[in-house]
Amino acid sequence: MLAISGIYLVLVIKYLFPPKNKWSFFLVSFIFISSPSIIYISTWIMSDTIFITLSNFWLATILLLTKKEIIVFRFIFLFIFHLLILYSIFYIRHAGMIFPIMTFLIFFLRFKIKGLLVSPVIFILIFIVVEQARQRNKNTFEVETFSGFSGWLRANNALIIIPFIETPPESFARKSSERIHEFALKREKTIYNKDKIFQGGMMWTQESPLYDFFHEQKNENAKDDMVLWIQLGKTHKKYANELILKHPFLFLKKFIIPNVSRIFYHGGIKDYYRLATPYTRLQKFDEIKEWCKLKDKPSIPKNDIYLNYYTNQFFNQINIGKWIFIFCSLLLYFFYKNQIKYSKEQKIFITIIILFNILYLGMLSVIVPIIPRFLLVTYGSQMIFVYIIFSQLRIFSKGDNLK
């Protein structure tokens, strides 16, 4: 499905931006369809494949829907398909919440007041998914929250500023936040290092103050671990929000700005690569090699371990190469800008693609530590951006001269 969505998106872009040369479409199509995402996520049993597939379909349909000369029946069919994509992508991963918001924003910017007509449908869709998640958590874990995981994640991010502040626990409005902060200040400041925070370490390691509070609550309430974990997600989110509001600029400096830099270069994989096994949690590649030599270990093929490690390294290099490729394409655009002409509607399509990248990557930078697989969602749109430039060039085409 990932390959099918990629082909569909490429064909839509070719339809909206007919190439003026024969080589650009095949070159960029090959790079896009044989993207590292297919290799990378093939080593994970997670939702990434479906999420990226739906993201490709979302971008293709939103571009077609914003084309003015479109038959009414085709518009209705595409809009229904688009709504199904929005529901699915939001349901599969909560980060998909940004997609309905982007749909509303794009329709408004494209069609002005008429674009507001879709807003009731979009907000009803958001309400349905959020309410379903809240009710599901209420029935299963006895807490009415959209996502318990997001609270732990938010607190993980906020704890990065602990070594740089001296905020007293009594300054917090909630008793639970005060208690969590007491645990946070008691821990050695060295545990709040950037690499560990950006790997979500405060969510999983027992040395985290979040787990100090977890165990205290477990002793007092004697609840099931999973139920308590989800319930405390809401508590941790309130603590994190209070802490960030007290030090917004410090959080910007220590978390958001470094997180943005990880969009372009994702460091720390080699030194903090983790492999969870029933026996151990390995932190460095040398430990992985030593673990492979052990006789008494789980039956996980050695090749799978090396593949995971080298796939991470491979993606990091590909990510750097991708940005260099995009930068060179922009240079090429400015060098040959006299022969590159876009219609008014094509400029709108380009704006939508750029807006998608800015909003999605911006959202990631604020709410979650960026890891390689999260960036794969924008890979297709970035390669399309390169095609949009290359497709208008007449260089290397028969009968044309370099100018």
pTM, rounded to two decimals: 0.81
For residue 155, being part of any structural domain is answered with: yes
Report yes or no on 247 lying in a domain: yes
On whether residue 400 sits in a domain, the answer given is no
Domain range for residue 127?
2-390
Residue 402 lies in a domain: no
The count of domains in the chain is 1
Structural domain includes residue 259? yes
The answer to whether residue 398 is domain-embedded is no
**Residue 166 dihedral angles phi and psi, to the nearest 5°:** -130, 40
**324 within domain boundaries:** yes
- Per-residue pLDDT 10s for the chain (403 aa) are 777 888 888 889 988 998 888 777 787 777 776 666 566 665 566 778 888 889 999 999 999 988 877 777 788 888 889 989 988 888 788 778 889 889 988 888 888 877 778 778 888 888 888 888 788 877 877 777 777 788 888 899 999 999 998 889 899 988 989 999 998 888 888 888 787 788 777 887 778 888 888 888 888 876 777 788 888 888 899 999 999 999 999 999 999 999 998 888 776 444 333 433 333 344 444 544 454 454 444 444 444 444 455 556 666 777 788 888 889 888 988 888 887 888 888 999 999 999 999 999 999 999 888 877 788 888 888 888 888 888 887 765 554 444 4
In-domain check, residue 75:
yes
